[in-house]
Structure 1
Amino acid sequence: MSDIDDLPLKSGPAGGWGSLSGMKQVMRTSRPEAGFLDTLRRQNKPGGFMCSSCAWPKPPNYRAFEFCENGAKHTMWENTSHRCTPAFWDDHTVTELRDWSDHDLEMTGRLTAPLRFDAESDRYVETSWEEAIDGIAAILKNLSPEEVVFYASGHAALEASYLYGLLARLYGTNNLPQSSNMCHETTSVGLKEVIGSPVGTVIWEDIAKTDCFFFFGQNPGTNSPRFLHPLKEAKDRGVRIVTFNPLREQGLVSFISPQDPVAMATGKETIISDQYHQLRAGGDVAAILGLCKAVIEADDAAQEAGRPRILDVAFIEEHTTGFDTFIETCRNTSWSDITREAGLTEGALREAADVYMTSERVIGVYGMGLTQHSRGALNIAMLVNLMLLRGNIGRPGAGMCPVRGHSNVQGQRTVGIAEKAELIPNDRLKTLFDFDPPLEDGTHIVDAVEGLFTKKIKAFLCLGGNLLRAVPEQKRMEEAWAGQEMSVMVSTKLNRSHLFPAGHAWILPCLGRAEIDEQATGPQAVSIEDSFSMIHGSTGHRKPPSPLLKSEMAIVCALGKALIPDNPKLRWDEWTGDYGLVRDLIERTYPDDFAEYNNRLFTPGGFWRENPAHKRIWETESGKAVFTDPDQLNSISFEDAEGRYRLITLRSNDQFNTTIYGYSDRFRGIEGTRDVVLMNEEDMAAAGYVKGDRVALVSDAGDEETRRLGGLAVIPYQIPRGTLAGYYPECNVLISIKHHDQLSKTPASKSIPVRIEKDA
C-alpha cells in the first residue's frame, strides 16, 4: 500500500508510454503463457477472437494492433500461466478466503476442474462433469421454476446465450436477468420509449462523417480505450468535442496514440475536448435543458431578425411529437434554476450550445454516467430532446451512441436473455421446439436480489460474472446468497461469489474466448454483438489451460439434456458438436436480424443488425420520436441536505468490471490503493478534513438500514462541490437495492446519498 501523502495526484495523457507501462505491469503479475503476443495479434480481427473486454466496435479496416490497453490486460489476465487446481483447496478453506482481496482471488489463476462445495471441510473438492450436471439437474427438478434464476454476464457468446435462454424457458421461467440490468438497461428501456430503438443508432460511417461529439458521463480512457483512436482521427479533421462529466477524465482531455511512432517519440498529444464542463453529479437534466433553452432562444432571435432558423423545423414537424410542451418548459424554466442544479454557469452552457448550433452533424455519446441514476431514463430522454432539435438522429454523421461496457452484453439481449416476455418471439420458439414458452415476466436483477432476501428465490445459475460483488446490498447479499438451496457458477477464475456457497454449490470451469473450442465437427467459432449492433465471428487459437474445461455451449447443452424431458426437436448433442446449427436456429428465430448468419459470420467489421431509428423509422407508440417534458431538474430521488453528498462510483485504469488487475489508477494519480474517497478541497476544508484523513462513508438514503464503508483516505480532487467519488465495486455496499432508476430499475450508482465521518 502507498502512503497517501506520497500520491502524486497527477497524470499524463491517455495512451502513450503510460499505456505500455500499464500493460507491462499486468504482464508481470499475470504471467501470460508463451505465445500471448500472437494472441494479441489476432485480437479483434476477422479469423481471430473478439476481445472479452468492452463492447466498442471492431473496424473493417483494422490496425496492426487492434487492441487497447484494457483489452490487452484482459487477454493477459485470462491467459495467465497461473493455475487454481483442486490441490489449492488442500491449504485453504472458503471462510479463510473471505479475507482475501478480489485481486488476490483471481491471481490464483485459471480454474482447471469442476468443483463441488463440501460443507463439512469448508472446501471445494474436485468432482466429475457427470456428477455436477446430474446433481444440478436433480435439484432443479425439485424446485419450482419461479424459484430459480438463470443469470448471464456479458461473457457468453450469442450461440450459448440463445440456448441458455431457451433452456430457462423450457424449464418454465423467464427469470433471465442479465448484467445489462445493472448498467445499460436504462438505455434499453429509455431509448425505446422515445425513439423506438433499445440500442444506439450510429455506425462506423457516422463516426467518420460527424463534425461534433457531445459526451455525457462516458470515460473512453478507462472503459473503451479503442474509442480514442477514432476520436484522434476526428480531431485531426477538425471535429469539435464537448464533454460534460463531474470528473476530468484523462481520456477526454488528451491522448497519445501508442501506434503513432512520431507521437510516441515526441510526446505530441492530441487535445480531445474543446470544452470540458464539470457538472454536479445528477445535474445532467438541468445542463441539457440549459443547452436546449439556449438553442430555442437563438432560434427565436433568428426568426425576429429574419435569419435562417436554428431548429430543424421540417424534421420536428414530420418526425416528432411533444415539441410544443417541451419548448414551453424550456422558455419558462429560469436560468438561475438551471445553473443551480447543473452546477455550471449560464455562460458555460451557452458556450457549449454555440458549438451544437454551429455543427451540422452531431453524435451524442453517453455511458453509465447517465444511466445509473434514479432518473436515468430522464437523462437519456433529455439528450434525445437536444438531438431532435436539429434533426441529429437518423441522418449520416449524427445519432445516439451509448457505449456498452461488456463485450456481448447487448447481443445477449438480442438473442433472448431477457426477463420480459414481450421481447421474446414466443410463437417462433413454440413452432421450432414444440413447447409452450412461459408468458409471465421473469425477474429483473433487483427483483432477484429482493427475492433472495425474502427466500422466494432458492437457486441461482450464473453463466459467468461475479454477481455477489456487482450488485448493491453486498453484506445482505452474502448472507442471502449462502442461504439458497443451490448456486451454480460458470467461471474462469475464483471470485467473491464463490466464497458464500449455497447448500449445494458448484463451480463449472469454462474456456476463454481466445482458446480453441474443439467439438465433434472440429474447432468451433462463436459470435458477439458490439455497441453498433454489428455481429462478429470469433475463433480461439490458444490451447486451453486444462483438458477438463468445457465451453459455455457444452455446459448449457449438457444441463439441458439432463434437465429437460426428451423432445426430438431438442438436439443438444448435435448443437454441442456444431455451433453452426445453433446459428441456423437463431436465424430462424430472428430472421430480420440474422439473415444469412453463417455466411456472413466473418464479414470484416461485422454485419449490421439494422436499426429502424437509424432510418428515421420510429417504432414508438405514436410512430414518431418523442420530446420529453422533464418533471424535475436533476436525475436524483433525494433532497440535498446539510452534510449529505452525492457519491459517484468509478472504475480505475487497472480494472474491468469487478476484475481488479492491480492497484494503479494512473489517470487519477492514485497508486497502490483503492481505499480512497475523492473530495473537493473546499468541501474538505469546510468539513475539517486534510489529505490522508481516514474516514467512513455512511449511506444516507433515509431508510432504517445503516450501510457503512470505512478505512477510506480522503484525497483532494478536482470535483464539484457536494460530489464525492469512490471505487466500484467496493462502494456497492453503500447502495440500497431500492435506490434505482424508476423505469429500468438500474441501480443508481452514480448518485448515492451519503454522509462522511471520521473513521473510528
Structure 2
Amino acid sequence: MTERNDTVHYDGPSGGWGSLRGITRVFGAEWTTPAATETLASQNKPEGFMCVSCAWAKPANYHAFEFCENGAKATLWELTTRRCTPEFFAKHTLTELRTWSDYDLEQEGRLTHPMRHDKDSDRYVPCSWEEAFAGIGAELKALDPKSVIFYASGRASLETSYMYALFARLYGNNNLPDSSNMCHETTSVALKKSIGASVGTVVFDDLAKCDAMFFFGQNTGSNSPRFLHPLQEAAKRGVKIITFNPVREKGLESFTNPQSPVEMLTGDETRISTQYHQVRPGGDIAVLLGLCKHVFAADDAAKAQGRRVLDTAFLEQHTSGLAEFEARVRATAWDDIEKESGLPRADIEAAAQVYVEAERVIGVYGMGLTQHVHGSDNVAMFVNLLLLKGNIGREGTGISPVRGHSNVQGQRTVGISEKPELVPLDKLAEQFGFEPPRDKGMNTVEACEGVLDGRVKSFIGLGGNFIRAIPETERLEAAWRDLRLTVQVATKLNRSHLVNGQVAYLLPCLGRTEDDVQATGSQAVSMEDTFSCIHGSQGRRTPASEHLLSEPAIVAGLAKATLPPNPKVEWDRWVGDYALVRDLIAETYSDEFHDFNERMWTPGGFYRGNSARDRVWKTESGKADFTVPEGLNASGIEDDEGRYRLITMRSNDQFNTTIYGYSDRLRGIEGRRDVLLINPGEMRRRGFREGQTVSLVTDAGDNVHREVRGLKVTPFDLPDGCLGGYYPEMNPLVPLQHHDGASKTPAYKAVPVRIVA
C-alpha cells in the first residue's frame, strides 16, 4: 500500500502496463501458451467466442486485442490446466473445504466428473451422468413443483436459458430468479414503468455521437474495462464526462491504452472525467434533483431572452407528469439537496451547466444506483433528467445501464423470469402443448425467504455462487441444510457447492471457450450484450475433461428424467443441433428474433430493438412518465451518531464472487481483502489507527445480530459517514429485508453498520 494524503491509492492510470502485469501475475506462464494466446485472439471477434466476463459489446470494428484485463483473467481462469478430480474430493471433507478461502477453492481448477454428496463420509463421490439424472429426477417428481427454485447465474447462453425456462414451466412453476435480481432488476422495474422498456436505449454507435456523458455509480475500470476505449476516444474529441460516485475509481479518472504502442512507451494518459464528484452513498436522488433544479432555472433565464433550454416539443408530445415533477423540484431547497448529496450547490450546478449546454447526452449507470432501498427512484430520476432535453430516442443520447454478467440481460429476454407477465405464455402453450403456470414465481429475495421459512425444498443452480452472493449469508447457510435437494451446475468449485441439502449433486459443464460437439457436429451458442445486440459464440478448445456435458445437454438430461414424455418437446433433437433451439426462440419471440440463425453472425451483432429508442412508450399513459421521488435519500438509512453507510465493493482482481487474486491494484490495496476502508478524518474523529483490527455490526434495528470480524482499518478517500468493504465478504451484514422496495434488489451499496473496536 502506498501513501498519499494519509490514504492508500494507486498512482498510475487504468490500463497500461499495470493491466499486463495483472494478467501475468495471476496466471503466470499459462497465458503465453499457444492455446491461450490463440483463444484470446478470437475473444469477442466474429466467429470467435463471447467473453465469459462482462456483457460489453462485441463490436463490428474490433481492435487487434478485443479483451480487457478482467476478460483475459476470466478466459485464462477457464483454460487453466489445474483439475479438480474425484481424487481431490476423496482427500477432503466438505467440512474442511468450508474453511478454505474463495480463492483457494477455485484455484483447484476445473471440475472433471459428475459428483454426488455422500452424507456419511461428508465427501463428494463420483457418479455416472445416468445415475445423477435418475436420482435428481426421482427427487423432483416427489416434490411439490412450487417448492423448487430454478436459479440461473447470468452467463448461460440464450439456447440454454430458453431450455431451462421451458423445463421449469413444464415442471410447474415460474420460480426462475437469476443474478439480475441481485444487480439490475431495479433497472428492469424502473425503466419499464417510466419509458415502457426494461433495458437501456443506447446502442454502441451512440457513444461516438454524444457530446456529454453523465456517469452514476459505475466502475468502468474494474467492471467493464473495454468501455475505456470508446471513453478515451470520447474524451479526446472533447466530450464532457461528468462522474458522480462515492469512490474515485481510476477507470473514470485516467487511462493508458494497452493497445497503443506510443502510449505504452511514453506513459501517455488520457484524462477521462471532466468533473468527478464524490457523492454521499444514497445521495444520488438529491444530486439528480439538483441537476434538474438548475436546468429549470436555466430555462427560466433562457425564456426571458426568447429561447428555451427544455425540449418543449418533445415534452408536450412524448411525456406526462412534468408539472408535478417540476413543482417538486422547485419546492426542494438547496440546503436539503446539499445535505443529502454531500456536495456543495456550486459543484452540482457546474455539472448541470454541462447538461444545459450539451446537445446530445448519454446517461450511464451501474449498481451504485440500483442497489439501494430506493434504487428505483434513483433510476427514475436519471430518466427525468434525460427527458427534460429530449435525450432519449435520438442518436447519441439515451439511458445506458451497464450490465455485468455476460448474458444476464439475454436470459431475461428468452424467458428466465419469475414474472409471468413478461413471458409469452400463450405462445409457449401453443408451441409445446401444455398449460404454463400463470402465478408469480419467486425472485432471489423471495427464494431466500422461502428457504428460511421452509417453503422452498429444492434449489437447482445453473452456474453461479448463490449462497456467497446473497445477503444474510450466515442465516441462509444454516437453513440451506434443511433443503431436500440441491443441484449445482458449474465449471469450478465454489462455496455454494459445500453447503448442501439432504441430497446433493455437483454437475460439471463445458466452458464457453471449449468445443461443444453434439450429434450434428460442433455447436455455437448466442448471447445478448448490454446494448441489446445478439451475438454468436463458438468455442474451439479441447474440453477440460471427457466427462463434461454442455449446459443444454445437462438441462435436457434433467428434464427427461423429471417430466413425462411430450411429442412437442424434443430434448434429444435440440441437444443434437442448437440451431433448432434458435428456431424455437424465433418462433416464440418473432418480433425480436426472426431469422435468428441467419442473423446470428452479423458483425457487431443484430439489434433486437427497443421501443423507447423509437419513442414508442409502452407505459400506462402511452408516454414517457416523469416520476416524483419519495424523498432525497436513496439509502433508506437515517443519520445517527456512530452509524455508517457501508458500500460493498469489488476489487480489480475479481468478477462478482470469483476471486482471481489479492491485488486491488487500481485502489492501491495489495495482499488482503479483510480491510475496512474509511477516510482519515473519520479515523481521527473516532480514534482509530491504521491497521487496527475492528468488527462491523449491522445497525438495522431488527434485533438480529450480524457481524463481520477481523477487519483492518485502512485509510481511503471516501465521503464522511461512509465505509467501504469487499463483496462478498461483507454480505453477512446485509439484512435480507434491506432491498429496493419495487424490485427487491438487495441494497448492497448502503448498509447501515457500526464499528466495534
The reply to whether TM is greater than 0.5 is yes
Tell me which residue corresponds to 1:120: 120
**1:243/1:273 contact within 8 Å kept:** yes
Name the structure 2 match of 1:74: 74
Once the two structures are TM-superposed, the CA of residue 26 in structure 1 deviates from its matched residue by 1.6
| 1:439 corresponds to 2:438 | yes
Q: Counterpart of 2:641?
A: 642
Distance 2:30 2:370 in 1: 33
Kindly provide the CA deviation profile for residues 150-189 of structure 1, in whole angstroms up to 9, marking residues without a partner as x.
0001111000100000000000000000100000000011
Paired position in structure 1 for 2:578: 579
Alignment of 1:11-50 (within 5 A): 11-28=11-28, 34-50=34-50
Is the CA contact 1:684–1:690 (under 8 Å) kept in the aligned structure 2?
Answer: yes
Partner of 1:356: 355
Partner of 1:289: 289
CA RMSD between the two structures: 1.5
Q: Which amino acid aligns with 2:522?
A: P
Q: Distance in 2 between matches of 1:240 and 1:2?
A: 31
- Report the alpha carbon displacement of residue 703 of structure 1 after superposing the two structures with TM: 0.5
SS at match of 2:604: coil
Instruction: Tell me the distance in 1 between the aligned counterparts of 2:138 and 2:281.
Output: 48
User: How far, CA to CA, are the matches of 2:595 and 2:368 in structure 1?
Assistant: 37
Partner Cα separation in structure 2 for residue 627 and residue 38 of structure 1: 50
Aligned length: 757
**Contact kept in structure 2, 1:2 and 1:671, CA below 8 Å:** no
Residue matched to 1:106: 106
Other-structure match for 1:605: 604
Q: Is structure 2 residue 193 aligned with structure 1 residue 196?
A: no
Native 8 Å contact 1:699 1:707 kept in 2: yes
The one-letter amino acid of 1:740's match is H
C-alpha distance in 2, partners of 1:138/1:295? 63
- Match for residue 266 of structure 1? 266
- Are the counterparts in 2 of residues 30 and 76 from structure 1 also a CA contact under 8 Å? yes
User: Do the aligned residues in 1 keep the contact of 2:2 with 2:10 (CA within 8 Å)?
Assistant: no
How far did residue 564 of structure 1 move? Answer: 1.0
- Alpha-carbon offset, residue 570 of structure 1: 0.9
Residue 690 of structure 2 aligns with which residue?
691
- Corresponding residue for 1:537? 536
The residue aligned with 1:157 is 157
User: Residue 250 in 1 paired to residue 250 in 2?
Assistant: yes
Match in the other structure for 1:739: 738
What is the match of residue 393 of structure 1? 392
Task: Map 1:497-536; keep pairs closer than 5 Å.
Answer: 497-536=496-535
What letter is aligned with 1:410?
Q
Equivalent residues of 1:33, 1:81 under 8 A apart: no
The aligned counterpart of 2:83 is: 83
Preserved contact between residue 172 and residue 437 of structure 2 (Cα < 8 Å): yes
Give the SS at the match of 1:45.
coil
User: Are the counterparts in 1 of residues 407 and 528 from structure 2 also a CA contact under 8 Å?
Assistant: yes
Alignment-derived partner of residue 468 in structure 1:
467
Residues 701-740 of structure 1 aligned to structure 2 (within 5 Å): 701-740=700-739
Shift of 1:642: 0.6
Judge conservation of contact 1:663–1:673 (CA < 8 Å) in 2.
yes
Q: Structure 2: how far apart are the matches of 1:578 and 1:181?
A: 31
Distance in 2 (alpha carbons) for counterparts of 1:283 and 1:54:
27
- Structure-2 change in CA distance of 1:4 and 1:10 (3 Å): closer
Distance 2:677 2:245 in 1: 15
Q: Matches of 2:5 and 2:296 in 1, distance apart?
A: 49
* Partners of 1:695 and 1:541 in 2: CA distance: 49
**Post-superposition shift, 1:4?**
14
Paired residues of 1:419 and 1:441 also in contact (CA < 8 A): yes
CA contact (8 A) 1:168 1:176 kept: yes
Q: State the shift of 1:10 in Å.
A: 2.7
Give how far 1:318 is off. 0.7
Deviation of 1:580 after TM superposition, in Å, equals 0.2
Match of 2:566 in 1: 567
Matching residue's letter, 2:100: W
Q: TM-score w.r.t. structure 2 length?
A: 0.99
Shift of 1:33: 6.2
Deviations 1:659-682 (Å, cap 9, x if unpaired)?
000000011100000000111111
Q: Is the 8 A contact 1:185 1:744 kept in 2?
A: yes
Deviation string, structure 1 residues 503-535 (Cα, Å, up to 9, x no partner): 000000000000000000000000000000000
Match of 2:302 in 1: 302
AA matched with 1:224: S
**Preserved contact between residue 32 and residue 77 of structure 1 (Cα < 8 Å):** no
> In 2, distance between residues paired with 1:34 and 1:264?
24
Secondary structure of the residue that 1:678 maps to in structure 2? strand
Give distance in 1, aligned partners of 2:620 and 2:704. 40
* Paired amino acid for 1:385: N
Match of 2:166?
166
2:595 corresponds to: 596
Instruction: Supply the AA of the counterpart residue of 1:42.
Output: S
Q: Report how far residue 307 of structure 1 moved.
A: 3.7
Distance 1:302 1:689, change over 3 A: same
* Corresponding letter in the other structure for 1:260: S
> Does the 8 Å CA contact 1:514/1:539 hold for their aligned counterparts?
yes
In structure 2, the residue corresponding to 1:719 is in which secondary structure? coil
> Which amino acid is 2:684 matched to?
A
Letter in 1 for 2:361: V
SS at match of 1:228: helix
Matched position secondary structure for 1:549: coil
CA distance in 1, matches of 2:126, 2:630: 57
In structure 2, distance between residues paired with 1:313 and 1:219: 34
Aligned CA distance change for structure 1 residues 225 and 3 (closer, same or farther; 3 Å): closer
- With over 3 angstroms needed to count, the CA separation of the structure-2 counterparts of 1:679 and 1:8, relative to structure 1, is closer
Q: Does 1:495 align with 2:501?
A: no
Q: CA deviation at 1:8?
A: 5.3
- The SS at the match of 1:512 is coil
Measure the CA separation in 2 of the matches of 1:5 and 1:312: 45
Aligned to 2:383: 384
Match of 1:218 in 2: 218
The amino acid across from 2:43 in the alignment is: Q
SS of the counterpart of 1:725? Answer: strand
Could you tell me how far apart the structure 2 residues matched to 1:349 and 1:342 are?
A: 9
Do the aligned residues in 1 keep the contact of 2:215 with 2:244 (CA within 8 Å)? yes
Distance in 2 of aligned mates of 1:176 and 1:229: 35
Distance in structure 2 (CA, Å) of the matches to 1:123 and 1:578: 36
Q: Kindly tell me: are residues 5 and 127 of structure 1, through their superposed partners in 2, closer, same or farther at Cα, counting changes over 3 Å? A: farther
1:430 aligns with: 429
Q: Partners of 1:623 and 1:458 in 2: how far apart? A: 42
Change (3 A) 1:29 1:692: farther
- State the one-letter code of the partner of 2:175: N
Cα contact 1:33–1:80 (8 A) shared by 2: no
Residue aligning to 2:237 = 237
Deviations 1:594-643 (A, max 9, x none): 01100011111000010010011111000100111122011022311110
Give CA-to-partner distance per residue, 1:330-371, whole Å, 9 cap, x none: 111111010010000010011001111111000000000000
CA separation in 2, counterparts of 1:312 and 1:5?
45
Distance apart, 1:30 and its partner CA: 6.8
* Code of the aligned partner of 2:51: C
* Paired residue secondary structure (2:730): helix
Cα pair 1:11 1:666 within 8 Å, conserved: no
Q: State the partner residue of 1:678.
A: 677
Q: Match for residue 180 of structure 1?
A: 180
CA–CA separation in structure 1 for the residues paired with 2:712 and 2:34 = 40
8 Å CA contact 2:24, 2:31 repeated in 1: no
Partners of 1:273 and 1:100 in 2: how far apart?
A: 40
CA contact (8 A) 1:155 1:408 kept: yes
Secondary structure, counterpart of 1:363 in structure 2: strand
Return the offset for 1:32: 8.2
Q: Secondary structure at the match of 1:282?
A: coil
Distance 2:325 2:6 in 1: 51
Q: SS in structure 1 opposite 2:647?
A: strand
Alignment check: 8 A CA contact 2:7 2:679 kept: no
Residue number in structure 1 paired with 2:322: 323
Aligned partners of 2:91 and 2:134: how far apart in 1?
28
Provide the residue aligned with 1:371 in structure 2. 370
Contact persistence 1:646–1:754 (CA under 8 A):
yes
Q: 1:139 to 1:246 in 2, by over 3 A?
A: same
- The Cα of 1:9 is off from its aligned counterpart by 3.1
The 3 A distance-change label for structure 1 pair 6 and 122 is farther
Structure 1 residues 122 and 34 mapped into 2: Cα distance closer, same or farther (>3 Å)?
farther
1:464 partner amino acid = G
Return closer, same or farther for 1:293/1:6 CA change in 2, 3 Å cut-off.
closer
SS in 2 for 1:35: helix
